[in-house]
Amino acid sequence: MRSMEMLKSSLLSRLTSTLTVPMILTSLLTASAMAGEWDEILPTSSQVEKLAEGFKFTEGPAWHPEGFLLFTDIPNDRIVKLDANGKLSDFATSVGRCNGLMCDQQGFIYACQMGDGHVIKMNAKGKVLGYLVDTFENNRMNGPNDLAIDSQGGMYFTDPYYGPEKELPQPMMAVYYIHPDGKTVRIIEDLERPNGVTISPDGKMLYVAEPNRGEVYRYNIQAPGQVTAGHLIYKGDPEIDGNGGPDGMTHDIHGNLYATYNGIVVLNPAGDLIGRIATPEKPANCTFGGPENKTLYITARTGLYKIELGVPGIALPKQGPELAEVTAVQSDLPGIPVMLAEEEKKETKTNDVNLGGLTLSIPESWENQPPENRLRLAQFSIPAAEGADGAAELVVFPPFGGSVDDNITRWINQFDPEGLELKLSQGTTEQGKYHMANIAGLYKKPDGPPFLRKTIDAPDHRMLAVILEIKDQGNYFLKLVGPKKTVDGVVDDFRKSFGADVKSEKEYKIAN
């Protein structure tokens, strides 16, 4: 079974590069997960379709009763609308880095302002009507993330934090409940970083995602805002589901749970795995909508996707909570830096490497290798990123002849002109001025000794190449090249290696 799961996971990863993605399904794991059940959920003809792209990080999909979809583009600080004709528009901007959204049957919209620390209520035109939550115990929230409205008109919401390490305004990352009259209480305090939250169709169960541990917890709802101790029902398989999930979740009318890991993991109400749906990008959230409520909309990094399912999703709640009566609120509540989980990066440990007149700060994970030939001053192997085709390589060359434009042109000519992506810039470091070529496309990878000038085609590659001018030394050449996915993950580390100042950079053009 284990080897079969690994094989299917490999197939999934190879299929997610296209805009329309055939479904590869895991085997059914429990007696309750019968083949007919999965066929009912996911018809054989169903495929994931890309609806839109070009965003920075999509989240919070919410279906509106007037027949349109809303979702958030967090770094761009906006809520985006997709109408019934597929047209995109900004529904609201400067929204405090809203994350989770939900609509009720009255047409009101409820939003978690991850950046500003509020939970707000909006009308169908995008006008903010006021706060549901502004502060708790006289302190602002950490960063409200996701929400779920119950049949009584109350709301559960999670309050994790993603950002630089610092003392938080709330004593823990927790789950809260807003009563229909607007009163807020803290109900779950023992999770590391609660994120996604959803309520079962019968209103008896609360499900909470714990992405720090890859887990889903279920709580019995005894009364509005009162839950029993949590019960772990599912833990993701790191080899298949990846690390850092689940994020957002939703239910269908049968109580099956759809949780975002590397793809969409579908569980029955007890937490048994029914199957998985592959997505082209790692999803952050999902929700049901469409004319029959059978369309699963998926927000995934830079794109918005959908897949038509055989069962409808849970219905929209009738109504959400009333606005809170905000009294004695400080007008100068301090803001705290907030970032997405994907933006949160630990400091990279580096070692200084002295190459005569040039000093580089190289990450410890980059392997320092003996140069392959006398033309190279140094070379480093950069580990492959997860899901990438291979490692990248940084090569450092000592000063030699040729103008800046001649050498940049030589690097550009190492790529096929068809589909070439190119950006040229210049900037300064403490060591000297630099020119950078950022190139992506089909790379003509050298094969064998340089004098043979033989190459092999290496598609989907990226090169970061720098000419660094050091006074009284000459021009040093740094060339980092490899699979695009691997190079994409080390851009910042590469810049830091030679002290690049991004703020100093401006566009550079080759002279005609």
DSSP annotation string for 309-343: -SS-BPPPPS--PPPP---S--TTPPP-----GGG
pLDDT one digit per residue (tens) for the chain, 512 residues? 333 443 333 333 333 333 444 443 433 333 334 446 898 999 989 999 999 999 999 999 999 999 999 999 999 999 999 999 999 999 999 999 999 999 999 999 999 999 999 999 999 999 999 999 989 999 999 999 999 999 999 999 999 998 877 889 999 999 999 999 889 999 999 999 999 999 999 999 999 999 999 999 999 999 999 999 999 999 999 999 998 889 999 999 999 999 999 999 999 999 999 999 999 999 999 999 999 999 999 999 999 999 999 999 999 999 999 886 543 333 344 455 555 655 555 567 899 999 988 999 999 999 999 998 888 999 999 999 887 889 999 999 999 778 999 999 999 999 999 989 999 999 999 999 999 999 999 999 888 776 677 889 999 999 999 999 998 889 999 999 999 999 988 988 999 999 987 767 888 999 86
User: Which two three-digit tokens encode residue 209?
Assistant: 């995602």
- For the chain, the residue count is 512
**Which residues lie closer than 8 Å to 327 by C-beta, 6 or more apart?**
none
Max CA pair span of the chain: 79
Sign, CA torsion 111/113/119/123:
negative
Name the residue among 391, 372, 392, 394 with its Cα closest to residue 450: 372
CA distance 25 to 42: 10
- In which element (H, E) is residue 40 found? helix 35-41
CA distance 235 to 246: 9
The residue type at 184:
T
CA distance 379 to 230: 52
Count of CB atoms situated within 10 Å of the CB of 240: 19
Q: Are 479 and 407 in contact (CB under 8 A)?
A: no
The residue type at 72:
T
CA distance 398 to 409: 19
CA distance 321 to 328: 21
Give the Cα-Cα-Cα angle 356, 360, 361 (nearest 5 degrees).
Answer: 145
Is 0.85 topped by the overall pTM?
A: no
The residue type at 303:
G
Name the residue among 203, 187, 71, 92 with its Cα closest to residue 148: 203
